């Protein structure tokens, strides 16, 4: 007791009181060999270091080396391990003192699942010696896991030390106590996080395999479950853990679940652990399966082969049960939402068949027969449909050439079964399978080029030299250059496969491999070939940009760098702004690797890209990216431009085809407008008309508001708001007309002749616009396919160089930039999947379930009309071109008038008339979205009618179209003019409304009908277009035939701007109709025009007080009044109230 008290008192002294003397006393006690002194020194050693604080790691290592565990009794060994554990924690500075049974509580060890490993210290503790000494004392093993956990959490260990610790401590996995094994599993998870290397993964896999081999009991299996669960469930740790180890653990847990009956306790435990893994990772079991399906299906195939031996008489049922269990575990459901073994099998055949073929045994053949029977087919058909996956698996494996040949022999043996319907004598060999699906095999190998480049190239050389008709005697036929020469003409098809891989919902690991493979492929095709496909490659890299994963983005930067450095100087100069805008998301995300791309552009190519770098510097001047800030110094220095110069630069950049450049330019424009508000107002107000740059800018912004990109629309709307309201008369007429398109009055298609070059030119230019601005891979591929088919249809591939042909005329009249863009599609072979016939449940489509939004309506109506086109050539052309509508709906309004004109030519417009009338007669609901949809649909109809009317007017001079013109006019005359006028007012197109309504009244007069009731509406339309003379004339006419109404007087006076004379008439109407809120609002608007703001405010407040139910309708009037009175406090209250 005296010794204990003395050592305790020495331990609790303040740090500055004789620290060396106190350590000397503890050192003497530990080295004395006397049980009492050693025990008490160990008990109070943590308190000593707690008082002395961090920085005494060397002394602790020295104290620990004094003990020889082999000479201590069991109790002292346990005390020593606990003491060392507390000392390790104390020296980290992460402990709290307690006066309970346990004196110290480590904050990190308690929250072990949230370790960040950032505050570990270095210590020369003899860990291996301690563990080896304790290994021979089984009763003390329960105290080792906390010691190892503290060691891993607080002391810095190199990777070699961790692997050594794993190998020396794994005997704990055989301990009889389940709690001890659970604690050790935490240590395994920490080791996996601290040593994320292939070497550690191999070591722990070996240790776990030895555990199962040496002790295959229920006891060891349960331990393994805990170890695997710990390797999958430590969410915060596994951010640093090796992916292969995590995959191994998940696969083993899955096999534990599937290899036993569902009612087995271990199977249930493994399933619960997998569900917990999914909960921690925030994914479903199905998603977890998709991530590791390749490795997991290998073991499922092995299980099925084992069942052939274990249950030879009932193999079919056992395999069916196993697959159903897998379908239940991973939630595979058929179309009726039922858990289905066949559904699981169908979706994973591309994994099952390769592993079966690589087994190459009689058991594998038996399993092959069973799964073919389950799917209602035969082995030959399965192999023909999935041979590319077998070829890929063989190529990616470590099989020798002899073993690969054995696999191929087994494939040929399995494919001997002929389809039931075929009676041919053909023998299906490897050559036959390759010929059957050659390009898919090549594409699949290229997608995995980076995984095993040498073996992929060997396989590609073998395929190309033997099965593609290449000249085998050529020196290139068996070389890398031969492979590259084969790929180059087919590069677009290869890029489509990469694009699909990036866009699908497949495992992340496959996308990482694909990005690395794409990088290598770009390097192989550098130069002129890369220039020809730069647009498609840009689209593919954009798709890779969208993958939100740090590793993917790093690899994506490498691919961008290879792409940029592989372009020829001319192509880089033309494309550098588009590339910079495309990598902008990577710049904003501060990906470090993007600095290498910027250095190449800004520094290495500074002389080549001088003008382009000025534009880039202008665009990024307000960016706060750290990566960009470190690279800006390489950009050329320029003098600060004037405001007008900056606006001209913004306008020039906004006109770029790329939507990404438009976004950057509009964002920069908003900054310029915000920083120069007073100067902008001076440019607007300084003269009788606005400054020319403002007029030009305003025109470009109006075009951007109608852009298909939502961000461009939003940014341009903000810019228009920053410019403020500008009187239309001060802007002048500055509508920019694209001369490359508008060269004739009205290009249209006459499919009865071959003189359609003008129509084809307009279609190709329109498609090229969507192609150059496409930021989505689907849109790019759809545009590419449509352009390819258009060029084929007009025989540009064969006849563009033949004089006096339509193809020659068409090609010669295309703008040079369009020719350059579409040239690759003269030799491409895009093939889109067959489109299913449009299913329309009811007619008219507008307003039904197939027409409840603008995009849905156009996606159903346009293809439906195309299917109904009778003319064979017209039908073929419009079917080809309309494929773009599935991906880019904004192309539909361009194509729709041409399709309807063709239907009018065929005198088959009854359904079209019904559809148009459905749009015109639809009454908008209170919902703003419905009103916007209706207005957009009406505008689409008006664009169609304008096109038809222009064609009918032009057709006066074309006698051969007399019959077609009569059909078109019949369709136009079938639409009620008064209804068209009302819908034009909805769109605020008052000039159009006036034209239609005047035509309507003319028709009534020609039919000798009474038109008196229509004069007021006509007078309103004249008022809308500010035709004061016409309003006055109608008022005078009304006086001659009868007394004008109060509304007619009001309309006349307000058209003149005489609101003082209109005010009494407003008062009369409100007095005669006190419950009409519309007349009250009109009266308030008149007061506002007269600038009687205080009167207006009192009047609106009184109305709201008397009629609270009118408050919503009067809200806008009250807001305008308060805003003009500059009563910001009351305005804020009003806005918050609503």
558 plus 596 within the same structural domain: yes
Which SS3 state, helix, strand or coil, does residue 96 take? strand
- Rounded CA-CA distance 43/75 in Å is 12
Residue 456 has pLDDT above 80, yes or no: yes
Lowest mean pLDDT: which of 253-262, 580-589, 625-634? Answer: 253-262
- Rounded CA-CA distance 831/492 in Å is 12
607 plus 697 within the same structural domain: no
Rounded to an integer, the average pLDDT of 333-359 is 85
Count the residues in the chain: 1138
Q: Supply the angle between the helices 610-619 and 659-675 in degrees, to the nearest 10.
A: 60
| Structure tokens, 362 | 């009689």
- Rounded CA-CA distance 183/112 in Å is 11
Give residues with Cβ within 8 angstroms of 1119, minimum separation 6. 1131, 1134, 1135
Task: Tell me, yes or no, whether 679 lies in a domain.
Answer: yes
- Rounded CA-CA distance 31/68 in Å is 9
What is the predicted pLDDT for the residue at 10? Answer: 83
- Rounded CA-CA distance 877/487 in Å is 31
Residue 145 Cα distances to 112, 140, 165, 424, 988, angstroms: 13, 10, 12, 69, 78
Lowest mean pLDDT: which of 836-845, 901-910, 952-961? Answer: 836-845
**Cβ(294)–Cβ(350) below 8 Å:** no
Task: Tell me, yes or no, whether 990 lies in a domain.
Answer: no
Q: 10 Å Cβ neighbour count for 318? A: 18
Q: Which residues sit opposite 1130 in a β-bridge?
A: none
pLDDT averaged over every residue in the chain: 79
Task: Tell me, yes or no, whether 1023 lies in a domain.
Answer: no
Residue 284 has pLDDT above 60, yes or no: yes
Q: Which residues sit opposite 339 in a β-bridge?
A: 333
**How many whole angstroms from its chain centre is CA 469?**
40
- Rounded CA-CA distance 367/876 in Å is 47
Residue 852 has pLDDT above 50, yes or no: yes
633 plus 677 within the same structural domain: no
Residue of 212 and 765 predicted with greater confidence: 765
- Rounded CA-CA distance 457/128 in Å is 47
Task: Give per-residue burial for 973-1011: e unless 16+ CB within 10 Å, then b.
Answer: eeeebbebbbbbbeeebbebbbbbbeebbeeeeeeeeee
Task: Tell me, yes or no, whether 700 lies in a domain.
Answer: yes
Which SS3 state, helix, strand or coil, does residue 279 take? helix
What is the predicted pLDDT for the residue at 202? Answer: 76
**Cβ(524)–Cβ(484) below 8 Å:** yes
Q: 10 Å Cβ neighbour count for 724? A: 12
Alpha carbon distance, N-terminus to C-terminus of the chain: 79
Residue of 156 and 1020 predicted with greater confidence: 156
Give CB contacts under 8 A, 24+ apart, made by 738-742.
740/765, 740/815, 740/818, 741/765, 741/766
Task: Tell me, yes or no, whether 930 lies in a domain.
Answer: no
**How many whole angstroms from its chain centre is CA 6?**
69
Task: Give per-residue burial for 196-206: e unless 16+ CB within 10 Å, then b.
Answer: beeebbebbee
Give residues with Cβ within 8 angstroms of 403, minimum separation 6. none
Residue 958 has pLDDT above 60, yes or no: yes
What is the predicted pLDDT for the residue at 744? Answer: 44
Cis peptide bond prior to 844, omega within 30° of 0: yes
629 plus 558 within the same structural domain: yes
Q: Which residues sit opposite 96 in a β-bridge?
A: 105
**Cβ(828)–Cβ(821) below 8 Å:** no
Q: Which residues sit opposite 105 in a β-bridge?
A: 96
**Cβ(391)–Cβ(435) below 8 Å:** no
617 plus 668 within the same structural domain: no
572 plus 666 within the same structural domain: no
Task: Tell me, yes or no, whether 1038 lies in a domain.
Answer: yes
What is the predicted pLDDT for the residue at 230? Answer: 57
Give residues with Cβ within 8 angstroms of 916, minimum separation 6. 941, 944, 975
583 plus 678 within the same structural domain: no
Q: Helices in 92-126 by DSSP H: which ranges? A: 107-110
622 plus 546 within the same structural domain: yes
Rounded to an integer, the average pLDDT of 212-234 is 55
**Cβ(916)–Cβ(941) below 8 Å:** yes
Rounded to an integer, the average pLDDT of 358-380 is 89
Give residues with Cβ within 8 angstroms of 460, minimum separation 6. 442, 445, 446, 483, 486
Residue 929 has pLDDT above 70, yes or no: no
Rounded to an integer, the average pLDDT of 888-912 is 88
CATH number at residue 1118: 1.25.40
Residue 673 Cα distances to 212, 649, 656, 679, 722, angstroms: 71, 13, 20, 9, 7
Residue 733 has pLDDT above 70, yes or no: no
Q: Any idea which residue has 């709307």 for tokens? A: 717
What's the CA dihedral at 989, 994, 996, 1001 to 10 degrees?
Answer: 160
Which SS3 state, helix, strand or coil, does residue 263 take? coil
- Rounded CA-CA distance 245/224 in Å is 14
- Rounded CA-CA distance 379/365 in Å is 9
**Cβ(1023)–Cβ(1031) below 8 Å:** yes
Residue 721 Cα distances to 670, 702, 724, angstroms: 10, 12, 5
Task: Tell me, yes or no, whether 37 lies in a domain.
Answer: no
- Rounded CA-CA distance 419/416 in Å is 10
3-state percent helix, strand, coil for the chain, nearest multiple of 5: 75, 0, 25
- Rounded CA-CA distance 47/89 in Å is 11
- Rounded CA-CA distance 691/161 in Å is 74
Choose among 220, 205, 218: nearest CA to 251: 205
Q: Which residues sit opposite 155 in a β-bridge?
A: 121
What is the predicted pLDDT for the residue at 186? Answer: 77
1042 plus 1118 within the same structural domain: yes
Choose among 438, 420, 351, 319: nearest CA to 379: 420
Choose among 436, 317, 303, 405: nearest CA to 364: 303
590 plus 688 within the same structural domain: no
Domain limits for position 595 = 530-638
Count the domains in the chain: 3
Last residue of a domain, one of 734, 752, 771: 734
Considering 175-179, 289-293, 366-370, 1110-1114, the range whose residues carry the highest mean pLDDT is 366-370
pLDDT-based confidence at residue 651 (cuts at 50, 70, 90):
very high
699 plus 730 within the same structural domain: yes
Last residue of a domain, one of 606, 638, 670: 638
Residue 1061 has pLDDT above 50, yes or no: yes
Q: Taking the complete model, does pTM exceed 0.85, yes or no? A: no
Last residue of a domain, one of 718, 734, 750: 734
| Structure tokens, 584 | 């902008």
Task: Tell me, yes or no, whether 587 lies in a domain.
Answer: yes
1049 plus 1131 within the same structural domain: yes
Residue 471 has pLDDT above 50, yes or no: no
What is the predicted pLDDT for the residue at 740? Answer: 42
Choose among 1056, 1072, 136: nearest CA to 1064: 1072
């Amino acid at each position: 007791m005296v010794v204990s008290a003395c050592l305790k008192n020495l331990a609790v002294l303040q740090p500055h009181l004789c620290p060396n003397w106190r350590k000397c006393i503890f050192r003497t006690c530990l080295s004395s060999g006397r049980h009492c002194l050693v025990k008490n020194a160990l008990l109070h050693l943590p308190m000593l270091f707690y008082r002395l604080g961090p920085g005494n790691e060397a002394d602790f290592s020295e104290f620990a080396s004094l003990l020889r565990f082999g000479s201590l009794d069991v109790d002292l060994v346990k005390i020593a391990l606990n003491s060392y554990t507390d000392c390790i924690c104390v020296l980290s500075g992460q402990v709290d003192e307690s006066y309970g049974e346990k004196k110290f509580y480590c904050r990190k060890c308690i929250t072990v699942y949230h370790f960040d490993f950032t505050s570990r210290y270095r210590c020369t503790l003899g860990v291996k010696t301690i563990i080896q000494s304790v290994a021979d004392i089984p009763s003390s093993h329960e105290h080792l896991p906390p010691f190892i956990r503290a060691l891993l959490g607080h002391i810095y260990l190199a990777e070699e030390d961790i692997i050594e610790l794993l190998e020396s401590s794994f005997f704990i996995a055989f301990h009889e106590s389940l709690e001890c094994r659970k604690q050790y599993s935490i240590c395994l998870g920490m080791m996996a996080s601290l040593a994320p290397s292939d070497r550690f993964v191999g070591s722990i896999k070996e240790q776990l395999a030895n555990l199962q081999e040496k002790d295959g009991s229920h006891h060891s299996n349960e331990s393994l479950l805990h170890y695997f669960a710990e390797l999958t469930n430590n969410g915060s740790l596994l951010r640093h853990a090796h992916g292969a180890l995590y995959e191994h653990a998940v696969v083993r847990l899955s096999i534990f679940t599937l290899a036993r009956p569902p009612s087995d306790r271990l199977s249930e435990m493994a399933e619960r652990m997998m569900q917990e893994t999914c909960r921690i990772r925030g994914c479903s079991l199905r998603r977890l399966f998709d991530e590791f399906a390749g490795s997991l299906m290998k073991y499922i195939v092995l299980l099925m082969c084992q069942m052939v031996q274990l249950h030879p008489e009932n193999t079919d049922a056992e395999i069916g049960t196993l697959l159903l269990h897998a379908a239940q575990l991973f939630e595979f459901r058929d179309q009726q939402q039922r858990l289905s073994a066949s559904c699981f099998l169908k979706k994973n055949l591309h994994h099952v068949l390769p592993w079966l073929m690589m087994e190459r045994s009689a058991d594998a053949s038996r399993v092959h027969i069973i799964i073919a029977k389950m799917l209602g087919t035969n082995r030959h058909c399965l192999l023909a449909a999935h041979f590319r996956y077998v070829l890929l698996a063989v190529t990616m494996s470590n099989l020798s050439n002899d073993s690969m040949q054995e696999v191929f022999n087994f494939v040929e043996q399995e494919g001997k079964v002929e389809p039931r319907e075929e009676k041919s004598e053909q023998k299906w060999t490897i050559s036959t399978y390759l010929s059957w699906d050659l390009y898919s095999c090549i594409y699949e190998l290229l997608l995995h080029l980076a995984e095993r480049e040498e073996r992929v190239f060997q396989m590609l050389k073998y395929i190309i030299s033997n099965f593609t008709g290449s000249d085998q005697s050529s020196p290139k036929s068996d070389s890398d250059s031969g492979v590259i020469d084969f790929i180059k003409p087919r590069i677009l098809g290869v890029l489509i496969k990469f694009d699909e891989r990036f866009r699908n919902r497949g495992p992340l690991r496959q996308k990482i491999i694909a990005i690395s493979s794409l990088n290598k492929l770009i390097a192989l095709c550098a130069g002129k070939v890369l220039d020809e496909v730069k647009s498609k490659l840009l689209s593919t890299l954009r798709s890779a940009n969208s993958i939100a994963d740090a590793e993917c983005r790093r690899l994506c930067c490498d691919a961008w760098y290879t792409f940029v450095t592989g372009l020829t100087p001319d192509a880089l100069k033309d494309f550098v702004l588009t590339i910079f805008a495309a990598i902008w998301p990577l710049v904003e995300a501060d990906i470090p690797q993007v600095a290498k791309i910027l250095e190449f552009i800004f520094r290495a190519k500074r002389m080549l890209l001088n003008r382009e770098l000025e534009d880039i510097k202008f665009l990024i001047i307000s960016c706060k990216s750290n990566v960009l800030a470190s690279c800006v110094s390489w950009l050329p220095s320029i003098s600060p431009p004037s405001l007008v110069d900056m606006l001209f630069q913004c306008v020039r950049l906004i006109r770029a085809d790329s939507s990404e450049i438009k976004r950057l330019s509009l964002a920069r424009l908003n900054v310029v407008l915000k920083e120069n508000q007073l100067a902008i107002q001076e440019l607007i107000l300084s003269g009788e008309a606005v400054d020319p740059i403002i007029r030009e800018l305003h025109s470009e912004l109006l075009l951007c508001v109608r852009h298909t990109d939502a961000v461009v629309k939003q940014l341009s709307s903000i810019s228009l708001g920053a410019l403020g309201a500008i009187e239309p008369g001060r802007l002048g007429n500055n509508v920019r007309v694209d001369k490359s398109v508008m060269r004739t009055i009205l290009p249209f298609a006459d499919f009865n002749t071959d003189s359609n070059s003008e129509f084809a030119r307009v279609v190709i230019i329109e498609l090229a616009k969507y192609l150059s601005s496409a930021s989505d891979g689907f849109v790019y591929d759809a545009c590419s396919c449509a352009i390819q088919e258009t060029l084929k249809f007009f025989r540009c591939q064969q006849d563009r160089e033949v004089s006096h042909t339509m193809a020659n005329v068409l090609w010669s009249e295309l703008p040079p930039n369009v020719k350059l863009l579409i040239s690759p599609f003269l030799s491409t072979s895009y093939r889109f999947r067959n489109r299913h016939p449009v299913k329309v449940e009811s007619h008219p489509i507008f307003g039904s379930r197939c027409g409840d939004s603008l995009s849905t309506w156009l996606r159903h109506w346009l293809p439906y009309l195309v299917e109904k086109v009778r003319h064979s050539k017209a039908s073929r052309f419009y079917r080809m071109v309309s494929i773009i509508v599935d991906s880019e709906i904004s192309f539909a309004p361009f194509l729709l008038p041409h399709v309807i004109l063709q239907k009018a030519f065929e005198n088959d417009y009854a359904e079209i008339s019904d559809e148009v009338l459905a749009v015109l007669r639809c009454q908008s609901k209170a919902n703003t979205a419905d009103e916007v949809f209706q207005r957009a649909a009406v505008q689409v109809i008006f664009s169609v009618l304008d096109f038809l009317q222009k064609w009918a007017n032009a057709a006066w001079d074309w006698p051969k179209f007399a019959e077609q013109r009569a059909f078109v006019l019949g369709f136009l005359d079938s639409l009620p003019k008064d209804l068209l006028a009302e819908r034009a007012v909805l769109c605020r197109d008052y000039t159009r409304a006036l034209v239609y309504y005047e035509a309507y009244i003319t028709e009534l007069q020609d039919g000798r009908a009474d038109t008196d009731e229509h004069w007021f509406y006509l007078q309103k339309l004249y008022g809308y277009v500010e035709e004061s003379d016409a309003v006055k004339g109608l008022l005078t006419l009304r006086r001659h035939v009868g007394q004008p109404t109060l509304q007619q007087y009001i309309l006349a006076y307000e058209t003149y701007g005489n609101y003082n004379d209109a005010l009494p008439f407003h008062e009369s109407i409100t007095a005669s109709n006190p419950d009409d809120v519309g007349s009250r609002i009109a009266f308030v608007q008149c007061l506002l025009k007269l600038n009687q703001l205080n009167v207006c405010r009192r009047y609106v407040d009184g109305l709201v007080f008397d009629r609270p139910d009118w408050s919503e309708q009067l809200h806008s009037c009250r807001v305008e009044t308060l805003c003009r009175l500059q009563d910001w406090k009351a305005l804020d209250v009003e806005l918050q109230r609503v």
